Structure 1
Amino acid sequence: MSQVVNQPANTVASAERDPVALGIAVSAIILFVATGGMVLPQVMRSWNGAGTAPDPMLVSTLLLNIALVIFGWRRYSELTAEISERRKAETLALHLAEIDPLTGTLNRRSIAKATSELMASTAAEGRALAFIVLDLDNFKSINDYNGHKAGDLLLQTTAKRIEALLPPNGLVARLGGDEFACVVPFDPNSPDQIDQMATLLIERTAQPIDYEGASLEITVSVGLSATSGPQAHHKTAATATDLLHYADIAMFHAKKHGKNRYFWFEPVMETELRFRGEMEGGIRHGITAGEFVPYYEQQIDLETGKLAGFEMLARWNSPTFGLVRPDVFIPIAEEIGLISPLSESLIEQALQDAKTWDPSLTLSVNISPVQLRDPWFSQRILKLLVKHNFPPQRLDIEITESCLHENVGVVRSMITSLKNQGVTISLDDFGTGYSSLAQLRSLPFDRIKIDRSFVTELKDANASAKIIRAIISLGDGLEMPITAEGIEDTNILNTLKAMGRLKGQGYLYGKPEDASSVHQRLERENLLMPRNRPDDAESDSSTGEHRRAV
C-alpha cells in the first residue's frame, strides 16, 4: 500500500516541476514581447496609411509565437487539472490505507501511529493512556446463522457504540474481523475511570440489535493495558505496539475465563500465553509423532467384583512437558481444530490393544462435543471397526450430557447410526448437564454414567445419597443400567453396592494404566484372547489341545 500511496505523490511532484511546460511558457512570452514590439506598430501604421507593411517573416514569427503561447497555456491548464485529480487520488489512497471501509474507524495499520502521537501529547500533559481491545464473543456463529449482512450491521453498530463512549480525543479502530481497539487518555491517579469505561463497553455492546424482525445479541471480551499508573505492570516504557500486544493478551485471558468480562494486563498472562503457544505447537507435532497414547481405567461389576472392561483415557507422552493429562491438552486441541484427528488416532490404538483382550471385556471411549458436530463422525468410527475387525458390540461410545443441549437432532442421527451396527452408547456425566426425561426416552442410550461429583460425596458417612438413588431409580424405570464413576474408597463402594446392581470405576481399583501394564494384568488374570496367551502359543505350536479346550 505504501508504494501505491507514494507513486502519485512522486508523479505530482515531478509534474509540478515539468521543465518542458515551463520552458515553452517562458519562451513564448519572451518571443511575443520581442516580435510584437516590432511588428504591431508597423501593422498599425500600415492600416492608417502612414507606412509600409511589415516584413512577412516577422508576421509569421509573431503568429507562430501566438500559437506557442496558446499551446503553453493549454499545456499548463491540462497539467493543473491533472495535478488536482492526482492529489484527490492520493488523498483517497491515504484514506483507504488508514480507515476501515466497513465501520469508518481507523484500522490496525493507522491506530499505532495515531496512538504514538496521542501518547506524546498526553505525556506532556502528565496524563496516562489506556489501550482497550474488544473481541466479540461467538461472532462467527451469529454471522453464519444470520448471514454476512447481519454480521456487517453488528460490526457497524458496535463501532458506533464504542465511539459514543469515547472522550473527544479518544481513538477507535477495527483491528480486523470482530476485534476492535480504542485508546483513551486518563488521569493515572484514577485508573477506575477505565474500569468504568470497560464495564460500560460490555453493557452497551450487549444491547440487542434489531435485524429484519430478529434480535441480534452478543457479548464482548475486553483486555486493558496502560502507559502508567498502578495498572501498568510492564517494566519498560511501552510503545503503541506494546500496548496493543498487552491489551490483546488480557483480552484473550478474558475469553479463557468465561468471556463477557474484562481484565487488566499482568505479566503472568504473557507467560501463560507463551506456554499455550508451545502447547499448540507440541500438539500439532505430537499427533504425527505418535506421542498421544491411550491409558485404561478398569470398570468393575460391583456385585461380582469381576472386571467388565476398560474406559480409554487420553494421555500425552510429551518429550517437552512429560506425561500430560487430558484436562490440559484436550480443550486446546478442541479450540485449534485438532481434536478429531487426535481422538481418532487414540481410538485406533485402543482398538488394536482391545483386540488382544478377552471377548467379554468392553472398551469405552469418550467423545468430544466438537466431534459430534461432524456429520461423518459415525461413519469414521464404523470404518475403524471394520479396519481392525473389532466387534462393534464390545465398543461403548460415551457422550457427555452437555452435547444434548447443542444439537439433539444431529446427536440422535449419530447414535442411531452407531447402534444399528451394534455399538452401545452411554450418557456420560449424568446430572451435570441439560438433558431432560423426554430426551432420555427419545434418544436410544444403553447406559447412564453417574458423574463423579455425586459419587465422591459418599465419602462422608453422613452424606445424602438421595440424588444417586434418584438416578438409579430413573435408570431402572428406563431399563438403562448404571455406571458410577469416582469410587475412591470402601465406604463409597459399600454404599453403592447396597443400591442395586451397578458397574463402577475409580481409583479404589487402581489408577489408569498404559497398554503394556493392562496386557500384563490381563495375562495374570487369564483374560487375554487365546492367541495372545503364552501357554496357548506353546500349545498351538505342538498339539493344539489347549486351544481346542478353550
Structure 2
Amino acid sequence: MHAKGPSSGETSRQRKVRLGAAERDIVTLGIALAAILMFVGTGSDVLPDVIRSFNGHGHGPNQTLVTALLLNIALIIFGWRRYNQLTSEVSERRKAEEQARILAETDPLTGCLNRRSVAPATDRLIAQARQRGQAIAFVMLDLDNFKMVNDLNGHATGDVLLRAAAERIAAQVPADGLLARIGGDEFAVVAPFDPADPAVVDRLATRLIDAVAQAVFVNSLEIESTVSVGLSRSDDDDAPVDAQTLMHMADIAMYHAKKRGRNRYYWFEHSMESELRFRSELESGIRRGIPAGEFVPYYEKQIDLATGEIVGFEMLARWNSPSLGLVSPDLFIPVAEEIGVIADLSESVIRQALLDARHWNPKLTLSVNISPVQLRDPWFAQKLLKLLVEANFPPNRLEIEITENSLHENIGLVRSMITSLKNQGIRVSLDDFGTGYSSLSQLRTLPFDRIKIDRSFITTLPDSKDSATIVQSIVALGEGLGLPITAEGVESEEVLHELRKFSGLKAQGYLYGMPETARTTAEELAQLDLLLERAEAVAATAPTPPIARRQA
C-alpha cells in the first residue's frame, strides 16, 4: 500500500556522496580485517616471548614485533569503533527513509493515505481482487459546505472537522480496504466486494453518510456537516479499469450527488459524463460572459393592488448566451455561486439596472435580489454604495431582497449587513417568506422594511385552505409589525380576486406581464408617461439582440 519511496527522488550529487561513503566504509572494514589477521600472526610470535620474559625465562620480545602488535591493536580498535558508527548511521538512515516514505505517502493532518499513494495501492487491490474473483468499489466522499465552515469559524475548526470525519470514515472501512484523503475536503474509500452482492457497497455508503452527519463539538461550538458520495466499481465496463479511471468515475458520481441535493450517494453512470461536460461548458461560458456583458437585467412589474398602478420593478438577471440562447437564472445562478463568481455577476447586472432605472419616474422603485454568498461579504454594503454613486441613483428608490433561508447561516452578520444598508437609505425586504421558518424574534429584531410572501402560497391560494390561512396569517403579522406585504406569483384572475380581500398589498407575477428587457420596459413606461425624459431614456437602453431559443 505504499507509494514509491523517497530515494527515487535523490539527485546525482546525493547518489555520488552516498556511494563514496559506502566505498570508504568498505575500505575501513578491509583495514580492520587485515589488522585482525596481522594481530593473530604477530601475536603468536610476540605473546610467548612476553610470557616467558614475565616469568623470568629468556629475553624480552622483539621491539619491532611489539610495535607492530600495538599498531594492530590500534587498528582493531579504530575498525571496531568505525563499525559501530556505521551500524548507527545505517539505522538512522533507515529511520529517516521510513519517515520520508511516510511523509510522502500519507496525509499529515489525518494520517490517511494521500492522493499520490492511493492510486498505486488501488491498482494492487484491483489485481488481487481480480485473482480472487472480486471487484473493487471506489467510494469518493466530499464534505458539504466545508468552505463555509472554514470561512465562518476559521481553519483550526475546519481541521478539527476533517480529523473527526477521517476517524469516523476509518471506523467504517473494511479490514481489507483503503482510506485516503484526496484533497482539501475529499476522502476516498477503496474496498473489495463480491460482484454478485453490490448491495454491500450501498450499505457501506449509507453507514459513511450517517457517520459523518454526527455533530462535531469544537470547544462550545457545535459543527454539523454532511457528505456527498460517489461510487464506481472496477467491473463496470468490459474493458479493465485502473485506479485513475475508478477515481474519475467516482468523482463524477459524487458531483452528481451534490447537484441532487447533497447528503446522499450515487453510482456512476455514463450519462453523468455528458452532464459534467455541459456543466463545464456552463462554467466556462459564465466566466467569459460576465466581462463580455452577456448577463443583463430583465424587469418584472410590481403593482399596487388598491390602485392597479405600477409602483416599481423587480430586477431579474438573464443570460444572453451565444451558444445556449436566453438562459434562466435557475440554471446559472447556482453554478455562479459554486464557482465563486456570483458577486461579480450580480454587481455587473445591478450596475446596469441602476443606470436603466435612473430614467424612470422617481416614484418607481427597483428591487434587487442578492445571493446569500454576497451576504457573507463584509464589504458588500460599501460596494453597493459605490454602484449607487456611479449611477447617481437615489438609495431610497432601491430595495434589496434577502431570502429567508439566508438568515440561518449567520444571523449576526446578516443583522450587521441590514443595518449598514439601511444607514445608507436603502430599504431591505425579506423574500420568500414562509419557506425558511424564520422566528418571530428575528422579524422583530431585524430591521426589515417589507415582507414578500413566497409564490408557493400565492399560486395555490384559490384551491388550498391551508395556503389561504397562511397568507392571512402573514398579512396579519405584517400589519402587527408595521411591515408592508408583497405577494409574488400572481398568475391568474382567481388569485388576484383572493388577494383583493386584503388591504395594502403589492403584487407581482405573470398576470401583469412577463419580465421584459430594459428597452421594452422603457417603451412601456414612456407610453404611461413614467419616464423622466422619454426619448433620451429609450435611447439610453441598448436594444436587445434577437436570441434563439435555448437549446434543449
TM-score (norm 2): 0.84
Distance 1:153 1:308, change over 3 A: closer
Q: Who is 2:86 aligned against?
A: 79
Q: Who is 2:349 aligned against?
A: 346
Answer whether contact 2:142 2:186 (CA < 8 A) is retained.
yes
State percent identity of aligned pairs: 60
Question: What is the SS of the residue equivalent to 1:222?
Answer: strand
Answer whether contact 1:5 1:94 (CA < 8 A) is retained.
no
Q: Who is 1:21 aligned against?
A: 28
State the shift of 1:37 in Å: 7.0
2:212 & 2:88 partners in 1: Cα distance?
47
Q: Who is 1:403 aligned against?
A: 406
Q: Who is 1:546 aligned against?
A: none
Answer whether contact 1:312 1:366 (CA < 8 A) is retained.
yes
2:506 aligned with 1:503, yes or no? yes
Q: Who is 1:115 aligned against?
A: 122
State the shift of 1:125 in Å: 0.7
State the shift of 1:377 in Å: 2.1
1:154 & 1:515 partners in 2: Cα distance?
48
1:127 & 1:412 partners in 2: Cα distance?
57
Q: Who is 1:541 aligned against?
A: none
The CA RMSD over aligned residues, in Å, is 3.6
Match of 2:520 among 514, 517, 521: 517
Answer whether contact 2:401 2:429 (CA < 8 A) is retained.
yes
2:460 aligned with 1:457, yes or no? yes
State the shift of 1:514 in Å: 1.8
Q: Who is 1:334 aligned against?
A: 337
2:184 aligned with 1:177, yes or no? yes
> Which residue identity is paired with 2:364?
L
> Which residue identity is paired with 2:487?
A
Q: Who is 1:97 aligned against?
A: 104
How far does the alpha carbon of each residue in 1:140-180 deviate from its partner, in whole angstroms, 9 at most, with x for none?
55567676666555444443433333332122223343332
1:193 & 1:463 partners in 2: Cα distance?
44
Distance 1:261 1:36, change over 3 A: same
State the shift of 1:82 in Å: 1.5
How far does the alpha carbon of each residue in 1:21-76 deviate from its partner, in whole angstroms, 9 at most, with x for none?
2543455456556766777788788888768974x666655554554444344333
Distance 1:496 1:237, change over 3 A: same
Match of 1:283 among 286, 304, 307: 286
2:520 & 2:152 partners in 1: Cα distance?
49
Distance 1:6 1:349, change over 3 A: closer
Question: What is the SS of the residue equivalent to 1:513?
Answer: coil
Q: Who is 1:223 aligned against?
A: 230
Distance 1:215 1:51, change over 3 A: same
Match of 1:391 among 379, 389, 394: 394
Distance 1:41 1:475, change over 3 A: closer
Match of 1:132 among 116, 133, 139: 139
Alignment map for 1:141-180 (pairs within 5 Å): 151-180=158-187
* Structure 2: runs of 5 or more not aligned: 541-552
Question: What is the SS of the residue equivalent to 2:249?
Answer: helix
1:267 & 1:356 partners in 2: Cα distance?
52
2:220 & 2:412 partners in 1: Cα distance?
26
1:320 & 1:534 partners in 2: Cα distance?
30
Distance 1:119 1:31, change over 3 A: same
Answer whether contact 2:46 2:61 (CA < 8 A) is retained.
no
> Which residue identity is paired with 1:368?
S
2:248 aligned with 1:245, yes or no? yes
Alignment map for 1:421-460 (pairs within 5 Å): 421-458=424-461
How far does the alpha carbon of each residue in 1:476-505 deviate from its partner, in whole angstroms, 9 at most, with x for none?
444433322222233333443454453322
Answer whether contact 1:295 1:312 (CA < 8 A) is retained.
yes
2:267 aligned with 1:264, yes or no? yes
Answer whether contact 1:366 1:398 (CA < 8 A) is retained.
yes
1:346 & 1:82 partners in 2: Cα distance?
68
Question: What is the SS of the residue equivalent to 1:194?
Answer: helix
2:367 & 2:181 partners in 1: Cα distance?
47
2:493 & 2:220 partners in 1: Cα distance?
60
TM-score (norm 1): 0.84
2:493 aligned with 1:486, yes or no? no
Answer whether contact 1:128 1:187 (CA < 8 A) is retained.
yes
Question: What is the SS of the residue equivalent to 2:171?
Answer: helix
Distance 1:24 1:307, change over 3 A: same
State the shift of 1:531 in Å: 7.0
* Structure 1: runs of 5 or more not aligned: 538-550
Distance 1:116 1:261, change over 3 A: same
1:210 & 1:426 partners in 2: Cα distance?
35
Answer whether contact 1:5 1:90 (CA < 8 A) is retained.
no
Answer whether contact 2:212 2:225 (CA < 8 A) is retained.
yes
